[in-house]
Structure 1
């Protein structure tokens, strides 16, 4: 069995972490298949990157468009080559309190962030090595989660729920795919300067609700954290380094100000973290002093 060529598919490639990964893997000489939704994004990336970049226009929630993309990748690789890697990055984040957020928005998070990930992975598993007489070494899957897969933040509960689900699904995938030698690694980014939160922190629909002030406080905090987060280039480089490790760990946290934003929150008792977060965004009112 020959080794895989440097070939990789990255979903959600037009902006943010996906775009950072596309640029970094392309710079390292990989043939990169980049998933986008819009033809103009495909054209923009093709013009920017040139050779060794293949745009794939498909929606991760659309079965037929995923199958069409599989055929496109099969044709590009040829019969004697497999897919070296899959980075499941496509995702959405729309803010709002779970008590008030429209159910169609909550369902949309799971359709894109979880069911889309599952369907894309299942579709490309044969090219990654889940088939008889696969011509090359098995590929590797990196699932882009979040620190919110371990630390639940208020007002993005739907997103948090999907990232917790991603953690469990990734572990099950990794154990099931031992049969084929396909590894699954979880990436847990912290704050990243990416457009995903431009819409995600729009909590204006909740301005005139009991959560109006607290959602506004959270949104201001989220924007500040995002703007001071790692660049997409830095994250893309870290992810490429992880992908190329001979024996990677099962998960990695890529978090700025890591001790404050990851180590402490994951070690604190949940009730203590509840109080800290609650006070920070105004969900716990200060006690009035007795007169």
Structure 2
């Protein structure tokens, strides 16, 4: 970390590495996770930034929870609780998320319900990046009790990650499906002779048709009596499933589909 000389900024680099090593599920790197967490803590002291040091406690709690170091994770959450006023909404949701991970690891079914509640709240707030990890964790938590639903959540996470260009999260979703014995595939351009629109659900096809007719997301939402956020999510999935890079290219797919002879 010699590329960053300022401890205030360097501590963020250390905790990002720590969290991502833990999120990627490599428990064999526990020592490395702890090393970066400790380096970040030392930088926090050097920077004398109470706010960032408090945020570090939340990040370290997540890392330890994902590694199964539950007592240490709980101590970090306690430190976060004690060292300041209630945090911003996003931090409060992460605090609940981490506590739910600990509960799931201890076999408490309330942990799954809490992850579902956090997912719903992040969906309401439009926190797409955090939603991905919530859904991935929900899928993982369901494996022991409901493999079918776990697979559905992994599929949703994979589609959302593909639409957002989040390659790591998409890979983890596909890995989760493979571990369940479910066949996976990557979204992309349609194969030769395949109609890209055949990949869409009836609702997605309806929305794609309206996009092709030149309607905006707000217009589509009003026409179908759906929220704008729901339409935005459908549009992202439509682009990912058809391989279209934008609405113009999607309209081109629609035109090709309309002029293609029906298969016999």
Query: Structure 2 length normalisation: TM-score?
Result: 0.30
Q: Considering only CA atoms, is the larger Rg found in Structure 1 or Structure 2?
A: 2
Whichever structure has more strand as a proportion of its residues is 1
- Between the two structures, name the one with larger relative contact order (CA 8 Å, sep ≥ 6): 1
